[in-house]
Amino acid sequence: SAPPVFAAVDLGASSGRVITGRVAPGPPGPGALTLHEAHRFPNRPVRVGGTLHWDVLALYRGVLDGLRAAGPVASVGIDSWAVDYGLLDADGALLGNPVHYRDARTDGAAEEVARVLPPAELYAATGLQHLPFNTVYQLTAARHSAQLAAAVHLLLIPDLLAYWLTGERGTELTNASTTQLIDPRTRDWSRTVTAALGIDPALFPPLRLPGDHGGELLPDVRAEAGLAADGPPVPLTVVGSHDTASAVAAVPADGDSFAYIATGTWSLAGVELDAPVVTEEGRRANFTNELGVDGTVRYLRNIMGLWLLQECLRAWETEGHPHDLDTLLREAARTPPLRSVVDAGDPAFLAPGGMPERLAAACRRTGQPEPRTPAEHTRCVLDSLALAHRRAVTDAQRLTGRHVDTVHVVGGGARNELLCQLTADACGLPVVAGPAEAAALGNVLVQARAAGTLHGPLPSLRTTLRTTLPLRHHTPTRDRHSWAAAARRLG
């Protein structure tokens, strides 16, 4: 019989995708895992009343269209970016559009939280890096709102979509770990944090884990998705619903001496651990202990990522001078290296708008030449990202004692050969690039295992990937001194 097909819904900051995955039978073990993009749709945030929102119904429609395009599937799994949520009233109706994490409503929230729970205590309780948009700050910013007062349930974005598909409410753990309300040691809500901040943990439906059964598609959903009313039930399988958790699950690593960089809008760079490392040193270095698939810990740092370049492209297009990414990357490859670099970890780059000028201003402030042409901006962004990758890989090893001999670059940025080569050069380590659709793959892997199509712990799932996916290898070439010198320019 034909191998089962799994539908991975993977929502990113600029587009959503419904991707089908199947595991071809292949002796002696499972054969190649192949993906097919059934549907892709734009994710366009909307500013209304001065607040930046997600157009969550448009996303949901994209999911339904995608399921229709996918046809009959054995199960569905959903992953998306982290931290954001929708609030439901007692009837289960959505109270307003979810707010985008890049919205300015959290300005000043960290200071408010710090008055009740100093940063060192918040970190000791949660092991989570400070990101101004963590759910804890969003809830603090919203705490006097009528909407929160009326709310009975809080659902993180993938859990919200899963609720609409199945009628069942749950809180998936890997994504819950990004709220800064979870203790990574107990893998449960931190009463220290919820009590100090007056956040009612009962807002969150029960925690569930990747691999859990998450209900079945409702009859009206089946109709919308074009599935026969009398066909077999389609379960929703809980996956690593934080896209980065799914992406890390799909790192095609061999052994544990590896670092990963999940690159896309963000670069999430770090190592995988069996247990959290919660130290004051780690807090100061802004490392996080997010929870991963199969009880793992994602010890990583957020780096601004290709957002810096996406925002430049958007600015040039708005000004009436659109640029083609591939051409720019070719030009950037011929542009002198390491002329100017910025701190790609700086939250100053978080908000949208005016990116080319903001990059130039940052170079000016640090006494470096300003990028003038789009190719120079592109080079500046890629050199800066590689430098930030180097720093994260070095710091993660120092802070955890984990030795790294290979860097895996996964996610959309794995397609960017220049970025991967620069990352190898900057880290002084071999880079294995791919898969680009890591989040969707990790999503499919967990579904396939829950269905009994794949077996075994993460390392054996990774072996399936490593032996069947096309991967690109980058050997470090450039001398390391120039990267060290560039790092010093940022202080």
Which residues form the catalytic set? Answer: 243
Count the neighbouring beta carbons within 10 Å of the beta carbon of residue 215.
Answer: 20
- Is 137 a binding residue for ligand LFR by CB under 6 A? The answer is no
CB of 243 to ligand LFR, least distance (A): 5
CB of 287 to ligand LFR, least distance (A): 13
Interacting residue with ligand LFR among 81, 85, 204, 260 (CB under 6 A): 81
- Cβ proximity to ligand LFR, 12 vs 205, nearer residue: 12
CB of 405 to ligand LFR, least distance (A): 25
Cα–Cα dist 174/479, whole Å: 38
- Is 83 a binding residue for ligand LFR by CB under 6 A? The answer is yes
User: Biggest alpha carbon distance in the chain?
Assistant: 68
**Contact criterion met (CB below 8 Å) for 159 and 202:** no
**410: exposed, middle or buried (Cβ count in 10 Å: 0-12, 13-18, 19+):** buried
Span interacting with ligand LFR, options 199-207, 240-248, 344-352, 444-452, rule CB under 6 A: 240-248
**Contact criterion met (CB below 8 Å) for 18 and 8:** yes
Place of tokens 């007692």: 90
- Cβ proximity to ligand LFR, 349 vs 483, nearer residue: 349
CB of 471 to ligand LFR, least distance (A): 22
- Give residues 349-378 in contact with ligand LFR (rule: CB under 6 A): none
- Cβ proximity to ligand LFR, 179 vs 368, nearer residue: 179
Span interacting with ligand LFR, options 76-84, 138-146, 214-222, 448-456, rule CB under 6 A: 76-84
Give the tokens for residue 30: 């499972």
CB of 155 to ligand LFR, least distance (A): 15
**Contact criterion met (CB below 8 Å) for 359 and 380:** yes
CB of 411 to ligand LFR, least distance (A): 8
- Is 82 a binding residue for ligand LFR by CB under 6 A? The answer is yes
For 246-315, the DSSP string reads HHHHT---SSS-EEEEEESSSEEEEEEESS----HHHHHTT-EEEE-GGG-EEEEEEE-TTHHHHHHHHH
Taking alpha carbons only, the member of 394, 73, 446 closest to residue 242 is 446
Give me the 247-266 binding string for ligand LFR, x by CB under 6 A, dash otherwise: ------------------xx
Taking alpha carbons only, the member of 193, 56, 203 closest to residue 134 is 193
CB of 410 to ligand LFR, least distance (A): 12
C-alpha angle 242-171-291 in degrees, rounded to nearest 5: 45
Please give the distance of CA 91 from its chain centroid, rounded to a whole number. 31
- Cβ proximity to ligand LFR, 265 vs 421, nearer residue: 265
Catalogue the E-assigned strands of 71-116.
Answer: 75-80, 85-88
Total residues contacting ligand LFR by CB under 6 A comes to 11
- Cβ proximity to ligand LFR, 141 vs 338, nearer residue: 141
- Is 243 a binding residue for ligand LFR by CB under 6 A? The answer is yes
Give me the 296-315 binding string for ligand LFR, x by CB under 6 A, dash otherwise: ------x-------------
Count the neighbouring beta carbons within 10 Å of the beta carbon of residue 475.
Answer: 10
Quote the DSSP letter at residue 416: -
Q: Residue 207 — φ and ψ, nearest 5°?
A: -70, 145
- Give residues 90-129 in contact with ligand LFR (rule: CB under 6 A): 101
- Cβ proximity to ligand LFR, 52 vs 74, nearer residue: 52
- Cβ proximity to ligand LFR, 138 vs 166, nearer residue: 138
Question: Site residues (CB under 6 A) for ligand LFR?
Answer: 81-83, 101, 242-244, 265-266, 268, 302
